[in-house]
């Protein structure tokens, strides 16, 4: 075939006779659980030295990937603020964070007290830690089912609505990379909502999320979709194997 006719045939084959689909803008939401807090002490709501290192390492990893965030959301708790500060120390140029109360964690002590009337023993050894999380699971399921209302907390429906409102904000206002710093409960609620998971699965997701762990949603104006869950790429190094934690 002469070269001119071959080129024309190639163009005709490569160009469809109808307009192609329009691909909507797609962003990525990076959901980060706070670094290790001070579980078993009188003030849980502050990062431990390990929690500071975990979040600084996450910021370094994000910087090495060239991530540039269009927006940042975080809960209002001290551990959220300190986690974001540690991330920002290695990732300069972050936008000013939008504080979102709907990203605050539930009160685990209030949840436990819905299923346990006696005194609460501080969870400072393996046995008391196991008891704490057994009672927490039971209390969370009762709260989600509307069978218990922890003192000083919103209903489960209102708690979930606060998380969903944050996701709606991301979908409606942004189309690039967005960073969200929160806790295990709101992140598990977000993931469970996207997947349509039952309450028991949301509780198990909550129990599995590690400190400073990264989960990712891709989003358009219409919806969020899960891309990854509970990853620790910033701790994927032999020297950081002892940095994994859950509390």
pLDDT at 24: 61
pLDDT at 40: 65
Residue segments in the chain with a per-residue pLDDT below the cut of 50: 1, 3, 5-18
Phi, psi of 177 (to 5 degrees): -85, 130
Burial of residue 116 (CB within 10 Å: 0-12, 13-18, 19+) is middle
Which tokens is 208 given? 């599995």
Torsion sign over Cα 186, 188, 191, 197:
negative
Per DSSP, the chain holds a count of helices (H) and strands (E) of 8, 6
Mean pLDDT in the chain?
90
The 10 Å CB-count burial string (b at 16+, else e) for 132-151 is bbebbbbbbbbbbeeebebe
User: Alpha-carbon distance 116 to 135, whole Å?
Assistant: 7
| Collapsed DSSP state (helix, strand, coil) of residue 74 | strand
pLDDT at 10: 38
Report which secondary-structure segment, H or E, holds 226: strand 224-231
pLDDT at 116: 93
Per DSSP, which regions of 131-176 are E strands?
none
Contact 188, 163 (CB under 8 A): no
pLDDT at 38: 85
User: Alpha-carbon distance 169 to 217, whole Å?
Assistant: 14
pLDDT at 23: 56
pTM of the model: 0.88
């Amino acid at each position: 075939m002469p070269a001119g006719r071959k080129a024309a045939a190639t163009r005709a084959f490569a160009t469809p006779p109808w307009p192609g689909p329009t691909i909507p803008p797609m962003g990525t939401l990076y959901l980060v659980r706070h670094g290790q807090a001070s579980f078993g002490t009188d003030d849980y709501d502050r990062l431990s030295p390990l929690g500071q290192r975990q979040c600084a390492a996450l910021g370094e990893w994000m910087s090495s990937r060239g991530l540039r965030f269009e927006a940042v959301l975080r809960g209002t708790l001290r551990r959220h603020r300190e986690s974001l500060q540690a991330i920002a120390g290695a990732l300069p140029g972050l936008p000013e964070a939008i504080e979102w109360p709907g990203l605050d964690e539930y009160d685990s002590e209030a949840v436990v007290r819905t299923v346990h009337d006696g005194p609460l023993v501080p969870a400072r050894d393996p046995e008391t830690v196991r008891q704490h999380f057994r009672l927490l699971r039971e209390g969370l399921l009762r709260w989600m089912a509307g069978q218990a209302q922890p003192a000083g907390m919103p209903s489960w429906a209102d708690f979930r609505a606060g998380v969903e409102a944050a996701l709606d904000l991301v979908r409606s206002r942004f189309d690039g990379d967005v960073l969200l710093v929160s806790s295990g409960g709101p992140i598990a609620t977000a993931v469970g909502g996207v997947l349509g998971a039952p309450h028991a699965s949301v509780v198990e997701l909550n129990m599995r999320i590690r400190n400073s762990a990264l989960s990712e949603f891709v989003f358009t104006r219409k919806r969020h979709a899960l891309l990854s869950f509970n990853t620790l790429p910033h701790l994927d190094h032999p020297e950081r194997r002892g940095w994994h934690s859950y509390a």
